[in-house]
């Protein structure tokens, strides 16, 4: 028992130092949740969700720090498309779940 005590103390110290990097309200969509978490993890401070068409929302990062300013999570436009809605032009799907299809704009560099 005494040999296990130092190991338990070390493990409890590691667990106590673990912190959550991103603070968000989860939705039922794993695609939307993963997009928000990745945008915030890259430094996005303000995420904008605008209605684009019926059943389609445009998601972009409006404000972010300079540390990762060129990452695609901060620079690209993303669209959530409800099933049965028309996809916007020049987009490719990147994720799908039972609630929506997540797409991003095809850029000239790709």
The reported pLDDT for the residue numbered 108 is: 61
Query: Which tens digits make up the pLDDT trace of 43-79?
Result: 888 999 999 888 999 999 998 877 767 888 999 999 9
The reply to whether 12 falls in a domain is: no
Residue 17 has pLDDT above 70, yes or no: no
The reported pLDDT for the residue numbered 18 is: 45
The residue range of the domain holding 70 is: 22-105
The reply to whether 14 falls in a domain is: no
The reported pLDDT for the residue numbered 100 is: 93
The reply to whether 1 falls in a domain is: no
- Write down the pTM of the prediction: 0.72
The reply to whether 13 falls in a domain is: no
The reply to whether 110 falls in a domain is: no
The reply to whether 44 falls in a domain is: yes
Pairwise CA distance, residues 95 & 30, whole Å: 9
The reply to whether 4 falls in a domain is: no
The reported pLDDT for the residue numbered 5 is: 55
Instruction: Please give the tally of structural domains in the chain.
Output: 1
The reply to whether 11 falls in a domain is: no
Q: Positive or negative CA dihedral for 90, 96, 102, 104?
A: negative
Three-class secondary structure of residue 37 per DSSP: helix
Q: How far, in Å, are 6, 24, 62, 91 from residue 108 at the CA level?
A: 57, 32, 22, 12
The reported pLDDT for the residue numbered 16 is: 46
Query: Which tens digits make up the pLDDT trace of 26-35?
Result: 788 999 999 9
């Amino acid at each position: 028992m005494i040999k296990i005590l130092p190991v338990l103390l070390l493990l409890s110290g590691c667990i106590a130092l673990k912190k959550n990097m991103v603070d968000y309200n989860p939705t039922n969509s794993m695609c939307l949740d993963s997009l928000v978490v990745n945008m915030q993890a890259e430094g996005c401070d303000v995420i904008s969700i605008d209605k684009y068409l019926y059943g389609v929302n445009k998601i972009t990062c409006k404000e972010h720090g300079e540390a990762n300013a060129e990452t695609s999570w901060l620079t690209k436009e993303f669209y959530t498309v409800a099933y049965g809605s028309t996809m916007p032009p020049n987009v490719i799907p990147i994720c799908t779940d039972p609630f929506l299809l997540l797409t991003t704009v095809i850029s000239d560099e790709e």
